Structure 1
Amino acid sequence: MDQRALFIIFGGTGDLAYRKLYPSLFRLYEKGYLKENFAVIGTARRPWSDDHFHEVVLNAIADDGRDVERTNTELARKFASHFYYQSHNVDDAEHYVNLKNLADKLDAKYELNGNRVYYLAMAPRFFGTISSHLKDQNLLTENGFNRLIIEKPFGRDYKTAKELNDSVSGSFAEDQIFRIDHYLGKEPIQSIAALRFGNQIISSLWNKEHIDNIQVTLAESLGVEERAGYYETAGALRDMVQNHIMQIVSLLTMEKPDVYDASHLRDKKVEALNNIQLYSVDEAKKNFVRGQYGEDANQTQASYRDEEGTDEHSQIDTFVAGKLISHNPTLEGVPVYVRTGKRLAKKTTQINVVFKNVDTDIFHNVEDNDAIGLQDNVLTIYIEPEMGYTLKLNTKYGNQGYNINPVHLRYRKTPEEKAKIPDAYERLIHDALRGDKTNFAHWHEVSRAWKLVDVIREAWDSEDANFPNYESGSMGPKDADELLTNDGRNWVFNPLK
């Protein structure tokens, strides 16, 4: 079913629009979700013409890993013809009058029925200003839907996030606000609910009686690259833990919803986050560690403090590891270990669910030099770059004797399967068009995540760290390993073993 709507993209000349939004809209057009009844207004300060804007859109499509020849096809040029540019100062109320005139004109031309999507691809400090002007200058229609899509970072702490939310909610109701966390658009993340609640063999074991711990790893092999300026104001805790990791943790620890829809899922995720133990400052110091990368062993990669745009005495974290405790009834007391970092040994996003070992090892008296012995059963969920699952089981292995060794049952999506999966932004824009908020963050989720993270930030801000404290190409500082070894556990994912 095709969707009728006018997209107004604030920040239309920016990197996000070029790399993600324009290619995603084109994919929706190719697949027929957008047909002829749509239009896009790009706004920014630059004095572009419509023709120049069309060329930018075509280049964005080409740079999205497609054959350059494709930008010359009739389909691509027909798509680009739906784009219009309006030079715009978001602080100037008069400019919204011009924007409204163009929007109304396009609404009539393309028969859009007053449906509008406002995408704020700009710094959060502009969210309140744009939202209030959209309302005050009567850009919000009465005969169609009005939906606001906003990007992270949504504040720097709970206080600023609430101020930001209040500034937006003065013009838009909560059900009109779509907060994008692109991790929620990833196929394997959306599959967590299907895995947990769609398989009796898994759901019957997903509880405190059978799960020993859960581990979430978001590891990056690159450094901060061109994002050093942003990272100096954010760090890994704000950039990764408050949003992506907390969203994943909520999906892993939530109770089963009665129905899988936006409302029921939201309530269970909020409940799950509310039931994550809120640490005191002293508890945060004990249960969370931070790191900042230094040079690699061969001194071929620069330390974070030597990256262009960073402070030579920077206290910003490029690595975070910690232990969260769930108090949801099903997983009461089960620890969830999380970690994320730059310049680590291998790029991966994965979840490891470690099950409790058998109560009695009846094989302990079997003597065989080749036997490894009983290992923990582990379910691994691969998010990226691989997509799929591995289940580690114990079995008799070999010929003579009675060797107990682990085997791995593996499933990976093939390149052909992965090619058919929608990009995260493509999926989320389509959901917003349909008014489906299942894979967007609600304010109650955002606010609770900030409260959990603020305590950690307060603990760290009370004392200077001894940075750098891990080599580039390692898996982070030794304190991250000790978080688990002190509990008699180890990280499942360790590419350096």
Structure 2
Amino acid sequence: MYTKRNHMKQKQVALASITIFGAKGDLTYRKLIPAFYNLFISHHLPSTFSIFCVDFLAVDDAGYRDWLLEGVNEFSRTGRADAQKWTEFAARITYVQGDFMKKETYSTLKGQIQKFEDKQQQRGVRMFYFAVAPRFIEVIADALCNQKLCNRDTLDRIVVEKPFGTDLDSARKLNRYLSKRFKEKQIYHIDHYLGKEMVQNILAFRFANHVFEPLWNNQYIDHIQISVAEEVSVGRRGGYYDSSGALRDMIQNHLLQLLCIIAMDCPKAYEAEAIRDAKIKVLKSTRIYNTEQVFKNVVRGQYAAGVVGGQPRRAYREEEQVKPDSTTETFVAARFFIDSERWKGVPFFLRTGKNMAKQSTTIMIQFKESPHKIFKDDITPNQLIISIQPELEIGLLFEGKVPGLHMKLLPMEMDFMYKDAYIESLPEAYEALLLDVLDGEATQFMRADQIEWAWKVVMPILNAWEKSPKKQLQSYESGSWGPTAANAILKPFAKEWFRLNHEPLSELAPATTTANAQTTAANAEVTAAT
């Protein structure tokens, strides 16, 4: 058992003003303020800071703080707030009422920030978080620039949430718009998946342990599955989701980011630009499909009525603000290839869906079968399983001898679980990322060119579906693991998607027991066909 240790880096900033646009929104209530509060009580925020919360609703400071406290009590990983600590933290919060579209809102905000900095007799770091609908990004960015609120590239930062554009053209336009007003190093495109503890640990796991990296290539790896299954429905987000869909909402950002981390070459250093360069290299090598290849390599689905966790769920087309004849996908399973020397011929299978049987985010790396088949029951290939949620776990499936008088093999597992190795509560993704922004650390944030290349990968898929909106749109029952057609794209590499249900890994390995020569031939056939 490891003793308690500090996972968060020590603060480097003495003074900071933090502004949240969208102060009355769900993101602020559920994620941002609980994250800032936890950073405060763990002594990771600057010694002097102030949080300015901007929104158009007219509320008083006391009422607003009480509302935020409800969010902390419900959603903070540390549980209900300590009364004294909350009082100290809440005293740093100021509500600024104003319309994002009006100049006077920013004049008022500027006066508040300057008053705070003048009192400290110091110009500190300024952080501006855009927790707003995409339509407000350009408006707020323009105002910050014109008011000279965010004009020091070494001290001032903006944080932009996804979705960043709705397609390649809109993403390019937004990138150009922001780049005319801010330096690239001031812009933090946030993807909370990159702040998750296990996601960050993948880099350490790969590049700090020489036992794995030499095997991390097409000579030893058969295929890789990256799966993000969600139990939730679209809920109250029907209006947004019906114009977005699973490909835009999950694949273009979260899952392609995970793919980059798994597939990237070793960067020259653990430094932001080196890591970003390695990730962009992966996206540039990802095969771009034509229309025919899209329908061979991508399966889309939409959930029908069913039961999830014992609760009835209605069909997607019956959700609020969803068109009754909608063809928007709530499920995507796709096979991608990275045409690089390291990964040529290795398929990367990506899957995500809503109203699935269980909440689970896993990465499964399946190795090729042993070339030395001296045991007749050597039939289970090695697998490395990285569970990101709900459990933080890394497991290795391998063959071993069953105790006894005869040589009999059985799949066994070696398992590392965070809850067994560490006794402290792990920071939430937003805590790690917000602290990085304050410190000017951009390693876990996407660069503008990375966002555009991710759009380039998915645009042929979006275009194919737009031309044929009903073609091969599958239906799947809520509470299932998605349409059965999703298993077909795995062939001949696997019969079904890997699922981790907190049972022994040896009982969960999919049946992939083709002979090594047959597998090699089949891989070549699939690669040629796509």
Q: Shorter-chain TM-score category?
A: over 0.9
The reply on whether 1:160 has 2:166 as its aligned counterpart is no
Cα-to-partner distance string for 1:55-82 (whole Å, 9 max, x where unaligned): 23333322225788735x2221111111
CA separation in 1, counterparts of 2:418 and 2:473? 39
CA separation in 1, counterparts of 2:178 and 2:410? 57
Instruction: Give the corresponding residue for 2:483.
Output: 477
Instruction: Give the corresponding residue for 1:303.
Output: 315
The answer as to whether partners of 1:114 and 1:142 remain within 8 angstroms in 2 is no
Instruction: Give the corresponding residue for 1:172.
Output: 182
The answer as to whether partners of 1:53 and 1:84 remain within 8 angstroms in 2 is no
Which region of structure 1 is more displaced relative to structure 2, 343-352 or 133-142?
133-142
C-alpha displacement at 1:314, in angstroms? 1.1
The reply on whether 1:134 has 2:149 as its aligned counterpart is no
The answer as to whether partners of 2:223 and 2:493 remain within 8 angstroms in 1 is no
Instruction: Give the corresponding residue for 2:96.
Output: 86
Match of residue 85, structure 2, among 75, 95, 110 = 75
Match of residue 106, structure 1, among 100, 103, 116 = 116
Instruction: Give the corresponding residue for 1:369.
Output: none
C-alpha displacement at 1:135, in angstroms? 1.1
Give the partner amino acid of 1:450: W
Instruction: Give the corresponding residue for 1:492.
Output: 498
Which region of structure 1 is more displaced relative to structure 2, 398-407 or 164-173?
398-407
Give the partner amino acid of 1:56: W
Cα-to-partner distance string for 1:92-122 (whole Å, 9 max, x where unaligned): 1233222211111111224552421011110
Instruction: Give the corresponding residue for 1:431.
Output: 436
Structure 1 pair 311–389 and aligned structure 2 pair: CA distance change class (3 A): same
TM-score by length of 2: 0.88
C-alpha displacement at 1:308, in angstroms? 2.5
CA separation in 2, counterparts of 1:486 and 1:280? 22
CA separation in 2, counterparts of 1:341 and 1:101? 46
SS of 2:490's equivalent? Answer: helix
Alignment of 1:316-327 (within 5 A): 316-327=328-339
CA separation in 2, counterparts of 1:133 and 1:303? 42
Give the partner amino acid of 2:298: F
C-alpha displacement at 1:398, in angstroms? 4.3
Q: Which runs of 5+ in 2 are unaligned?
A: 1-9, 502-507, 511-530
The answer as to whether partners of 2:192 and 2:430 remain within 8 angstroms in 1 is yes
SS of 2:225's equivalent? Answer: strand
The reply on whether 1:250 has 2:260 as its aligned counterpart is yes
Match of residue 452, structure 1, among 444, 448, 457 = 457
Match of residue 250, structure 2, among 220, 223, 240 = 240
CA separation in 1, counterparts of 2:153 and 2:349? 48
CA separation in 2, counterparts of 1:211 and 1:449? 24
The answer as to whether partners of 1:114 and 1:143 remain within 8 angstroms in 2 is no
Instruction: Give the corresponding residue for 1:353.
Output: 365
Instruction: Give the corresponding residue for 1:368.
Output: none
Q: CA RMSD in A?
A: 2.2
Instruction: Give the corresponding residue for 2:297.
Output: 287
The answer as to whether partners of 2:145 and 2:151 remain within 8 angstroms in 1 is no
CA separation in 2, counterparts of 1:392 and 1:35? 44
Structure 1 pair 138–206 and aligned structure 2 pair: CA distance change class (3 A): same
Instruction: Give the corresponding residue for 1:14.
Output: 25
Instruction: Give the corresponding residue for 1:407.
Output: 412
CA separation in 2, counterparts of 1:70 and 1:28? 13
CA separation in 1, counterparts of 2:500 and 2:433? 32
Match of residue 333, structure 1, among 340, 345, 361 = 345
Q: Which runs of 5+ in 1 are unaligned?
A: 365-371
SS of 1:163's equivalent? Answer: helix
Cα-to-partner distance string for 1:32-56 (whole Å, 9 max, x where unaligned): 1225410111111111222223323
Match of residue 342, structure 1, among 354, 357, 365 = 354
Structure 1 pair 163–35 and aligned structure 2 pair: CA distance change class (3 A): closer
Cα-to-partner distance string for 1:172-224 (whole Å, 9 max, x where unaligned): 11110001100000011011111111111111111111001111010112222
CA separation in 1, counterparts of 2:426 and 2:138? 34
CA separation in 1, counterparts of 2:59 and 2:199? 39
The answer as to whether partners of 1:390 and 1:409 remain within 8 angstroms in 2 is yes
CA separation in 1, counterparts of 2:473 and 2:260? 31
The answer as to whether partners of 1:236 and 1:320 remain within 8 angstroms in 2 is yes
The answer as to whether partners of 1:295 and 1:303 remain within 8 angstroms in 2 is yes
Give the partner amino acid of 2:324: E
The answer as to whether partners of 2:157 and 2:186 remain within 8 angstroms in 1 is yes
Cα-to-partner distance string for 1:442-492 (whole Å, 9 max, x where unaligned): 111110000111111111122114655111222111211000125565423
Percent identity of the aligned residues? 35
Instruction: Give the corresponding residue for 1:393.
Output: 398
The answer as to whether partners of 2:51 and 2:92 remain within 8 angstroms in 1 is yes
Give the partner amino acid of 2:243: T
Structure 1 pair 110–490 and aligned structure 2 pair: CA distance change class (3 A): same
CA separation in 2, counterparts of 1:404 and 1:69? 50
Give the partner amino acid of 1:204: P
Structure 1 pair 61–5 and aligned structure 2 pair: CA distance change class (3 A): same
The reply on whether 1:210 has 2:220 as its aligned counterpart is yes
The answer as to whether partners of 2:77 and 2:428 remain within 8 angstroms in 1 is no
The answer as to whether partners of 2:207 and 2:266 remain within 8 angstroms in 1 is yes
Cα-to-partner distance string for 1:96-155 (whole Å, 9 max, x where unaligned): 222211111111224552421011110111111111111112223549611000100101
TM-score by length of 1: 0.93
Give the partner amino acid of 1:22: I
